[in-house]
Amino acid sequence: MAIAVARIDERLVHGQIAYSWSVAYQVDTIIVVDDICAKDQMQKMLIGMAVPKGKTGYVFSVDETIQYFKSEKDLHQKIFLVAKGPEAYLKLVEGGVAVKSINVGGMYFKEGKKQLSKTVYVDDEDIRTFRKLQEQGVECEIRTAPSDKSLDLYHLC
């Protein structure tokens, strides 16, 4: 299996993910990586309903995602990973999942966060986590839609 897109988007699976990103990258499977959603049957059902027809959707915890990638399942699938923040990706990388780059599309305003772009706000903890990802060789770009110009997140924070 190959990771076609790894994205940070606090909204997880929504119209832009389902019908813009997944089509642009021709993915077969969308995996939501979120420890809280993975334990919540209602959220899992709602996210499953948002996955486009013809594509497979999973809602996994970080540990389940690591185990999925270590398994020999779905070897020919193009995978779309989506998580709410950089912490999940750092744990995946530390767990041996080969995440080469992350698209950051939606980290929204909260008290104490600074704006990097129209849709991306970070705090000191986010920046520390992104720097650890950078040390692991993971590229991070900011791009809302597939046709948008890519901005190097590391140059902005």
- Catalytic residue numbers read 14
Contacts of 14 (CB under 8 A, 6+ apart): 50
Q: Please give the Cα distance from 84 to 35 (Å, whole number).
A: 10
N residues, the chain: 157
Q: Please give the Cα distance from 121 to 123 (Å, whole number).
A: 7
Classify burial at 88, counting beta carbons within 10 Å of its beta carbon; exposed 0-12, middle 13-18, buried 19 or more.
Answer: buried
Region of 23 (left: φ > 0; alpha: ψ -120 to 50; beta: rest) is alpha
Amino acid identity of residue 125, one-letter, is E
